[in-house]
Amino acid sequence: MPEAKEKRYKWRRGNYRENTKGLLMVNTGDGKGKTTAALGVLVRAAGRGMNCAIIQFMKSKTDRYGEHESLEELGIEIHTMGDGFTWDTKNPAQDVKTSEETWKLCVAKMQSGDYDLLVFDELVYVLDYKFLDVQKILGEIKSVREGQPNLHIIITGRNAPPELVEAADLVTEMKEIKHPFHAGIFAQQGIEF
């Protein structure tokens, strides 16, 4: 019987690192799964020994979600900074203030040079609601990526602005086909939170 030939995985090739770079990724669309997909990448990256963090813009800082428990077990930093979802805000000034404070944390994490992967969960909502300026955000991301060419960043949320889509290396749109909410089924523990 012939000897099995070793499979040459891409990351074992001599020129692998020269042909890779940090990616700016956007998970957008009206379907479920934007954050869930980002969490999957966080788990994969942690499994490869990468230093990762997730910063959530809108989920309430007083709540605990299933991903908090799992990610902390994997050694992934998680910062939930929001005041709760604000589709029908009663206090836009507070929402802008919270968004600005959360973005300051994002900038500090990017500039630290300590991370391989950062997830800015729900940042797209903040941009869509005009709580933060998309050009300013993209300028700061671009500046950091120039100095850290291997830093990966994932941004999630509905209605990604065209400027963000243009700047990204990878954009995935989640499209809703069917959702249990429309059948009167509420969000469920372990599935949505």
Full domain range(s) for residue 80: 20-174
Report if residue 2 sits inside a domain.
no
> Could you tell me the pTM of the whole model?
0.87
Report if residue 126 sits inside a domain.
yes
Which residues, 6+ apart, have CB-to-CB distance to 13 below 8 Å?
Answer: none
What amino acid occupies position 176? Answer: E
Of all helices (H) and strands (E), which one includes residue 62? Answer: none
Collapse the DSSP code of 80 into the 3-class scheme (helix H, G, I; strand E, B; otherwise coil) and give the result: strand
Which residues, 6+ apart, have CB-to-CB distance to 68 below 8 Å?
Answer: 78, 80
Report if residue 67 sits inside a domain.
yes
Alpha-carbon Rg for the chain in angstroms:
18
Report if residue 48 sits inside a domain.
yes
Report if residue 180 sits inside a domain.
no
Residue 119: give its domain's CATH number: 3.40.50.300
The distance in angstroms from the start CA to the end CA of the chain is 52
CA atoms of 172 and 7, how far apart (whole Å): 30
Report if residue 191 sits inside a domain.
no
Q: Which pLDDT score, from 0 to 100, does residue 92 have?
A: 86
Number of domains making up the chain? 1
CB-side exposure of 164: number of CA atoms within 13 Å? 26
Report if residue 187 sits inside a domain.
no
Residue-wise pLDDT tens for the chain (193 aa)? 555 555 555 555 566 566 679 999 999 999 999 999 999 999 999 999 999 999 999 988 888 888 999 999 999 999 999 887 666 677 889 999 999 999 999 999 999 999 999 999 999 999 999 999 999 999 999 999 999 999 999 999 999 999 999 999 999 999 987 877 778 878 776 667 6
